[in-house]
Structure 1
Amino acid sequence: MIEVGFSMEDVARTRFALSPLWEVVASVRVLKGADEQGLHRTWTDRARPRLAAAGLDLGVLFDLVPVPSRSPWAGSVPSFLCPPPTTPLPSLAMELATLRATPPELIRTTSAVSAERMAALRANPEAELARLAEAIEAYWELVLAPYWPRILTLLESDIRYRAGRLVDGGAQRLFADLDPQVAWADGTLHLSHRSVRGPRALDGRGLLLVPSAFVWPRIFSVLGEPWQPSLRYPPRGVGALWQTRPTPVPEALAGVMGRSRALLLAELTAPASTTELSRRTGLTPGGVSQHLTALRTAGLVSAHRYGRQMLYARTHTGEAVVEAASAES
């Protein structure tokens, strides 16, 4: 059990942030076997063939993510690979800039990571970190960017909920239902850990709380120097993240943009091609293409190339529009 003591200053500095870079690393863990319960099977069933078809060399990334073991705490992810974010909602580009600028003395890890890869990083950190950043960008665009609006909606919803609990009842209420492996008592946060025990001090830096779609059913803490103390935890509702139940067309939305465009936007619960959307909606491929172009121009839909196919997905704005219109219906 790790005991994290909070001063008044630490409570005041406790805050939330999101991390696209951490989602990259955590999703690689899922692809390497961390999802024993199959929570992310819908995503992995799509991601694996896309990665295989792309033929990308992602070894520089995958070699740095330990193969998960049965122990929730074994095979720790190297801290330099995904440092805690410095702003509440950084872009992937911002986090990769931090990664590229990692001082050589911080490139350290555990024995669970490829020794050969670590030797290459230490021998030529600037070049290897640049290669790593390029691999992460390619991986992101292929298997995470199309789903990011959906993931972002889930994470932001959890932050709103937890911020409300913090306002209503302070730290005790905030941590009360955060995760079964977390408990708050007498100004101390207790984190379950199978091998590490003892007190840890925040030293007035507060705790950064980072909800993560791909971390369940575990939590990950960053408490060592020189990093910002952080806790990555699964958000509420993560079990429904990949559900693809048909979404009825909100009448309010149809009244504003027309039934066909509203139907397409509602159907994009997961990235889909023009052909697939045509089959599902009964609209002609040409009509689907025309409507998707209009939705892209309005910032409600984004496009992502997958081989010879173009996959369309709702943007964060598109997700918010559908959610708001559904709530009014």
Structure 2
Amino acid sequence: MPTRLHFDEDDYLNCRFAHSPLWETQAVAHLLKRPDRQVYQRPWLRRTRRQAAAMDLTPLWLLMPQRGLTPGWLCPPPASPSATFEEEIALVRAADPGAAREDALRSLRTTPGAAAAARNRGWLHSPARMVREVSDALEQIWTRLVEPDWPRLRALLEADIAFRTRQLAEHGLGELLPEISDHCAWQPGTLTVQDRADCERHLGGQGLVLMPSVFIWPHVIGTFEPPLQPTLAYPARGIVSLWAEPAVQAGTTLTRLLGRGRAAILAALDTPSSTTGLARRLDLAPSSVSSHLSVLREAGLLTARRHGRHVLYERTGLGDALAAGS
């Protein structure tokens, strides 16, 4: 089923990128329910299977139908480019119980037996209990499964955003949107998304939040119905190698020229990364990485730009040439 989003001039100005620990947490719940989507996450699933098996995810799964929509109050758009999980889960817990009940009923009706299960849990009589139990389940998934790997996940998401931002600047929204997923098609002024919804919406100046995600591959998901700002989550680049532990090695010549630490950092910056991301990847002290980054930047081999609370470093053309020549 298609969703059609119609843009006007103000919408082009109000499109933005973000990443969301809450959406990643929900995507993990979907992933654990759907074995057909687990191919690229198997190393992570093997490592976390005991923690996952110890949790009761039934409250979440009742509101995540295979064919149908997850309630909008469960996945509010991130308010900032790098919102924290604590900020986002507070919005879920603050959902109006009456509105949450009506929204949940639409999801429950699409799965046989789900409405009866919700009634047995007391949700329909006490929707505040439903909001609390679902929020508690999300918080468990975040704490036990997602938060320990969040620095690595965030680094990948920020690298994707850096790449897509350059792509947007160079080619425009019309080329970017079809590029992020085969499920997206663009005709002048209209984005068509093939997903589980059947929706048509004029954005009315709100724009669109574009959000890379690790755990939704190979699909796109979104929140498109008013009054929430339309949000489209798409598969992030680089998930194939996310859970691998590649050895980042610099060539002998580059090492002799720059020294072992700086050469390793330059070689590792094939995608934008933060100081903490590089330190973790290379097993170096963050203070040493920070010092090396400053020298490489002063030499014209790196650039830096702020994304939310973090600074991302990437190679310049000269840095690429030097790394390639090694």
Q: TM-score, normalised by structure 2?
A: 0.71
Q: 1:136 to 1:117 in 2, by over 3 A?
A: farther
Distance 1:235 1:255 in 2: 25
Question: Which residue does 1:12 correspond to in 2?
Answer: 13
- Say which SS state the counterpart of residue 39 (structure 1) adopts: helix
Q: Does 1:33 align with 2:71?
A: no
What is residue 192 of structure 1 aligned with on the other side?
194
Indicate whether 1:181 and 2:180 are aligned.
no
Q: Distance in 1 between matches of 2:166 and 2:234?
A: 17
- Determine if the alignment matches structure 1 residue 80 to structure 2 residue 73: yes
Superposed displacement of residue 155, structure 1: 0.8
Separation in structure 2 between the aligned mates of residue 132 and residue 195 of structure 1, nearest angstrom:
22
Q: Offset at 1:254?
A: 10
CA contact (8 A) 1:219 1:233 kept: yes
* Conservation of the 8 A alpha-carbon contact between 1:153 and 1:319: no
Q: 1:295 to 1:195 in 2, by over 3 A?
A: closer
Aligned partners of 1:145, 1:195: CA distance in 2, in Å?
30
- Aligned residue pairs total 274
Find the partner of 1:125 among 127, 144, 152. Answer: 127
Match of 2:216 in 1: 215
Letter in 1 for 2:176: L
Q: 1:160 to 1:319 in 2, by over 3 A?
A: closer
Q: How far is the alpha carbon of 1:79 from its aligned partner?
A: 1.8
- Alpha-carbon shift at residue 175 of structure 1 (Å): 1.5
Contact 1:150 1:319 in 2 (8 A): no
Corresponding letter in the other structure for 1:231: L
Matches within 5 A, 1:242-261: 242-248=243-249, 251-252=260-261
| 1:115 has 2:115 as partner | yes
Query: How far apart are residue 239 of structure 1 and its match?
Result: 2.0
Give the equivalent residue in structure 1 for 2:148: 146
Q: Distance in 2 between matches of 1:44 and 1:182?
A: 28
Q: Distance in 2 between matches of 1:130 and 1:162?
A: 36
- Residue identity over aligned pairs, in percent, reads 32
Q: Residue in 2 aligned with 1:60?
A: 59
Structure 2: distance between partners of 1:296 and 1:134: 34
Secondary structure of the equivalent of 2:39?
A: coil
- The change in CA–CA distance for 1:195 and 1:103 in structure 2 (over 3 A counts) is closer
Q: Could you list the per-position Cα deviations for residues 74-120 of structure 1 after superposition, in whole angstroms to 9, with x for gaps in the alignment?
A: 24322221111111111000011100110124311312463256443
Q: Which amino acid aligns with 2:115?
A: A
Given that 2:3 and 2:197 are in contact with CA atoms closer than 8 Å, whether structure 1 keeps it comes out as no
Q: Separation in 2 of the partners of 1:106 and 1:34?
A: 32
User: 1:6 and 1:81 mapped to 2: Cα distance?
Assistant: 26
Contact 1:2 1:192 in 2 (8 A): yes
The CA deviation string for residues 232-277 of structure 1, in whole angstroms up to 9 with x for no partner, is: 1111222222222344599216999xxxxxxxx989669xxxxxxx
Partner of 1:273 in structure 2?
Answer: none
Question: What's the C-alpha RMSD, in Å, of the aligned pairs?
Answer: 3.8
Q: Bigger shift: 175-184 or 106-115?
A: 106-115
* Structure 1 unpaired stretches of 5+: 69-73, 257-264, 271-291, 301-316
Amino acid at match of 2:80: T
Q: Cα deviation per residue 1:107-165 (whole Å; 9 max; x = unaligned)?
A: 11312463256443343333442333233222212111121111111111111111112
Q: Which amino acid aligns with 2:33?
A: K
1:89 alignment partner in structure 2? 82
Change (3 A) 1:254 1:171: closer
Change (3 A) 1:158 1:166: same
3-state DSSP of counterpart to 1:40: helix
In 1: Cα distance, 2:310 partner to 2:78 partner:
26
- State the TM-score, normalized to the length of structure 1: 0.70
What does residue 164 of structure 1 align with?
166
